């Protein structure tokens, strides 16, 4: 099986032959925490594994939703390389979870696409707090970003996908996005501690739950992130069909290799999976 096939994950949870086939895809642009895997300054077993094995490498977090249009969720610093890897030639909309550097730093790459290739501004959505932070960093792009702010629990529809902005436990104004299509209910929250009760109620029973799993073992920052073990507990407790682990540091604070993590997850019989850069889900 080639690498591309290995990274493609059809929706297999809750099968129903009466349901229409998925017409949208979600691709993981990156699945790592801020400094990526391998981190240039680190020689832990996880980083050394990633230097040997491209499958174990992780760029900063973002996802790409494709149907008839192309939607970015976050603009990580690795964005130019990630979009080229996925053969993306144009972006139609951008949504941000929040405005921390590892989710925002690649926005400047889109300036060239808009100024050189588009005849219109780029539609953008974020919380009011995130918008303020984004435009403070990228003030020179204010004229080409067509911003709409999203309030907590507000829903917008883009290309037949309903996106609902759900507050999560992280920096002020951080959202996870509930994405709903005719076939699938999917929740993406790349940075969060334990979900607020109102958000947890909205995502209960999701077909796909993609969530922050930054730490292996001890959680340095429970007010802002999950450990892998906490993500599994919360995700399965919410009745998710499949839980995907993302925002993986792999070296905070006890290193874990991809091989070790996949071995650890075997008893879950694919109810819990490790997200990989380039992996694509139908939804």
Classify residue 86: in a domain, yes or no.
Answer: yes
Task: Tell me the whole-structure pTM to 2 decimals.
Answer: 0.92
Q: Which two three-digit tokens encode residue 60? A: 């900063």
Number of compact structural domains in the chain = 1
Classify residue 2: in a domain, yes or no.
Answer: no
End-to-end CA distance of the chain: 23
Classify residue 53: in a domain, yes or no.
Answer: yes
Amino acid 134: pLDDT = 98
The CATH number covering residue 91 comes to 3.60.15.10
pLDDT in tens, 135-180: 999 999 999 999 999 999 999 999 999 999 999 999 999 999 999 9
Q: Which domain holds residue 208?
A: 23-276
User: Dihedral through CA 276, CA 72, CA 83, CA 91, nearest 10?
Assistant: 160
Contact 191, 73 (CB under 8 A): no
Amino acid 9: pLDDT = 52
Classify residue 96: in a domain, yes or no.
Answer: yes
157-183 per-residue burial string, b: 16 or more CB within 10 A, e: under 16: ebbebebbbbbbbbbebbbbbbbbbeb
pLDDT in tens, 225-250: 999 999 999 999 999 999 999 999 99
Contact 155, 180 (CB under 8 A): no
pLDDT in tens, 10-56: 444 444 556 677 899 999 999 999 999 999 999 999 999 999 999 99
Classify residue 30: in a domain, yes or no.
Answer: yes
Backbone angles phi, psi at 58, to 5 degrees: -135, 125
Angle, nearest 10°, between helix axes 45-52 and 258-265? 100
Classify residue 282: in a domain, yes or no.
Answer: no
Helix, strand or coil, per DSSP, at residue 201: helix
Classify residue 39: in a domain, yes or no.
Answer: yes
Contact 161, 24 (CB under 8 A): yes
Q: What is the mean pLDDT of residues 79-100?
A: 97
Contact 11, 186 (CB under 8 A): no
In the predicted structure, residue 2 carries a pLDDT above the cut 50: no
Amino acid 152: pLDDT = 98
Backbone angles phi, psi at 246, to 5 degrees: -135, 180
Classify residue 115: in a domain, yes or no.
Answer: yes
């Amino acid at each position: 099986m080639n690498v591309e096939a290995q990274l493609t994950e059809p929706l297999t949870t809750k099968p129903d032959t009466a349901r229409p086939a998925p017409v949208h895809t979600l691709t993981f642009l990156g699945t790592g925490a801020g400094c990526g895997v391998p981190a240039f300054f680190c020689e832990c077993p996880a980083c050394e594994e990633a230097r040997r094995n491209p499958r174990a490498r992780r760029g900063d977090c973002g996802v790409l939703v494709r149907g008839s249009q192309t939607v970015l969720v976050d603009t990580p610093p690795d964005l130019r390389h990630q979009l080229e890897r996925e053969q993306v030639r144009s972006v139609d909309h951008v949504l941000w979870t929040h405005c921390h550097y590892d989710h925002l730093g690649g926005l400047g790459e889109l300036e060239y696409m808009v100024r050189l290739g588009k005849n219109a501004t780029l539609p953008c959505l974020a919380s009011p707090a995130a918008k303020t932070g984004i435009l403070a960093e990228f003030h020179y792009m204010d004229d080409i970003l067509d911003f709409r702010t999203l309030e907590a629990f507000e829903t917008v529809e883009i290309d037949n996908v309903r996106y609902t902005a759900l507050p999560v436990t992280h920096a002020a104004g951080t959202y996870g996005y509930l994405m709903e299509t005719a076939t699938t209910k999917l929740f993406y929250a790349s940075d969060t501690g334990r979900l607020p009760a109102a958000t947890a109620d909205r995502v209960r029973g999701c077909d796909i739950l993609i969530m922050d799993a930054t730490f292996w073992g001890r959680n340095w920052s429970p007010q802002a992130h999950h450990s892998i073990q906490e993500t599994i507990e919360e995700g399965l407790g919410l009745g998710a069909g499949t839980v995907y682990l993302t925002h993986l540091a792999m070296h905070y604070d006890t290193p874990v290799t991809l091989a070790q993590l996949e071995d650890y997850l075997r008893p879950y019989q694919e109810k819990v999976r490790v997200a990989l850069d380039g992996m694509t889900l139908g939804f």
